[in-house]
Structure 1
Amino acid sequence: MTSTPLTIHESLREEIISRPDMILDDRDLMQALIAANERAMGGNIVDLRGIAMERLEIRLDRLEDTHRGVIAAAYENLAGTNQIHRAILRMLDPLEFEPFLRDLGGEVAEILRVDRVRLVLESAQNDSDPAIRRLGDVLSVAEPGFIESYVSDGRGAPRRPVTLRQLAGGDPAIFGDAATWVRSEACLRLDFGAGRLPGLLVLGSEDPHMFTPQQGTDLLAFFAGVFERAMRRWLA
């Protein structure tokens, strides 16, 4: 009657001796053993080693959480980089100006997953040019000084190449009829070179969390830099 429990006990003992990592790698088992050891020592004895292990476990949990966060951020950054690269390659395909701008509001916008793309060019002339009217869904012409006022929201904020912000509604001067449902935007300043007025590329989204001030802007700044260089070909 007693031989079976004894056999099981001996086999388990031999298994543990031959493979101690089986217990050392199991956190629940280790915690159970530490708790049993504390009970055996009594309540008047402070187990400093157990306290140290508990603190190490807490630090390990924090480290694992940080590790997972870093990996998630790296994957997100890689996905964003691939997205920008795809948009740039598509943007550089057209050989003429009008298809270049149409693609900007079409396939390029789809790749970037934004609902509206608008290019604002400052000019001392009016926008009565037929080409401008044909591209009115993407291109608009504004008076000199408009871009600085729009990006800074009239507050004279520091100049930044990319501004991300959430909106209660878009500006009709930029988004037209779509302004009522635009909830966030990215404003990319454009420098076309000496002697030329600046430009602004505005990405608008219905999602209020698409563009927020807490997000990084490196990829969008890179996109704006490539766009500037592409535009200089057409402005030359």
Structure 2
Amino acid sequence: MDGSQGGIGEGPLDPASVRRFLSDNPEFLTGDDGLLDELGLKVAAGGNVVEFAPAAMARIHAAHRQEATQRQHLEETARANFAAQAQTHGAVVDLLDARNNSDLARRVDELAQQRFGLAAGVIALETEAHPPAGWRMLVEGQVDMILGGPQRLARMGFAPTAMGLFGERAEAIASMAMVRMAIWEPSRQGLLAFGSADPEGFTEDMGTELVAFLARVVERTAERWPLL
């Protein structure tokens, strides 16, 4: 179709050319039922007005529903994050009230279960002597092995190498959150670990900020009572 017949021409299409062609040749659109269906349009009863078809309106409503669902998901995520932060702040107060390192370990386990609904909370320490009562004893290099390397500061998800941290409750643990700690001077390697009975309780794509924050609190609190 050439330009002398009111066509669009052989050159590149542009919106102005398309608009001019449809204005000069309205029957090109209104007379092509297949094209109207593809575009989600229909000819009104008068025959000279093109309306949105029900299918087009359905797509609009579907887009609105999707937008509402996404907004609801964001709101639920924000509420969950706020609740987790509030529980974390409460946990910090509990930890700071510890009377000694044994009491600190007990409080970590209690807040894991009572505040966060987890299966266990554990403090572990690499040491050749006995660690404080309630702490798990690790051999040198075991923190690196559990976390998956000396450069890793945290690990989320399921780690078979960490099962021993949870003692008699290990069979109930399906996912873990673990953060490296360095306690006292000279520094001793340790771990703060939380275990969940839910395989999706901790996953590899989760952020570690809140767990790492609790680990820093445990470090500072434990340093009140140096090992002899």
State the TM-score, normalizing by the size of structure 2. Answer: 0.69
Q: Which moved more, 1:211-220 or 1:100-109?
A: 100-109
Alpha-carbon shift at residue 68 of structure 1 (Å): 0.8
Cα distance in 2 for partners of 1:41, 1:198 equals 82
Matches within 5 A, 1:149-188: 149-152=145-148, 156=149, 158-160=151-153, 162-166=154-158, 171-172=163-164, 174-188=165-179
Corresponding position of 1:91: 95
The alpha-carbon distance between structure 1 residues 139 and 99, as it changes in their structure 2 partners (threshold 3 A), is same
Is contact 1:144-1:197 (8 Å) kept? no
For the structure 1 residues 41 and 71, does the alpha-carbon distance in structure 2 shift closer, same or farther, using more than 3 Å as the test? farther
User: Identical aligned pairs, as a percentage?
Assistant: 25
CA displacement at 1:180 relative to structure 2: 2.0
Cα pair 1:169 1:182 within 8 Å, conserved = no
Q: 1:40 to 1:111 in 2, by over 3 A?
A: same
Given candidates 124, 136, 139, the residue that maps to 2:135 is 139
Shift of 1:109: 3.7
Q: What is the rounded CA distance, in whole Å, between the counterparts of 1:157 and 1:195 in structure 2?
A: 18
* Equivalent AA in structure 2 for residue 126 of structure 1: A
Q: 1:102 aligns with which of 106, 116, 139?
A: 106
Give the superposition deviation at 1:163.
1.3
Provide closer, same or farther for how the CA distance between residues 76 and 95 of structure 1 changes in structure 2, counting only shifts above 3 A. Answer: same
Amino acid at match of 1:68: Q
- CA–CA separation in structure 1 for the residues paired with 2:197 and 2:54: 54
Q: CA deviation at 1:167?
A: 5.5
- How many pairs are equivalent? 187
Picking from 125, 145, 148, the partner of 2:144 is: 148
Post-superposition offset of 1:193: 6.0
Q: Matches of 1:108 and 1:207 in 2, distance apart?
A: 14
Change (3 A) 1:59 1:68: same
Tell me the CA shift for residue 182 of structure 1. Answer: 1.3
From the two aligned structures, give the one with the greater helix fraction.
Answer: 1
Q: 1:41 to 1:60 in 2, by over 3 A?
A: farther
Q: Distance in 2 between matches of 1:151 and 1:188?
A: 8
Instruction: Give the whole-Å Cα distance in 2 for the aligned partners of 1:144 and 1:63.
Output: 52
Paired letter, 1:113:
G
Task: Determine the C-alpha separation between the residues in 2 that align with 1:147 and 1:193.
Answer: 16
Determine if contact 2:182/2:190 at 8 Å carries over to the other structure: yes
Pick closer, same or farther for the CA change 1:175–1:51 going to 2, 3 Å: closer
For the aligned residues, what is the CA RMSD?
Answer: 3.2
Tell me what 1:34 maps to: none
Q: Pick from 38, 44, 65 the counterpart of residue 69 of structure 2.
A: 65
Letter of the 1:209 partner, please give it: E
Q: Which amino acid is 1:212 matched to?
A: T
Match of residue 40, structure 1, among 20, 45, 61? 45
Report if aligned partners of 1:188, 1:224 keep a CA contact under 8 Å in 2: yes
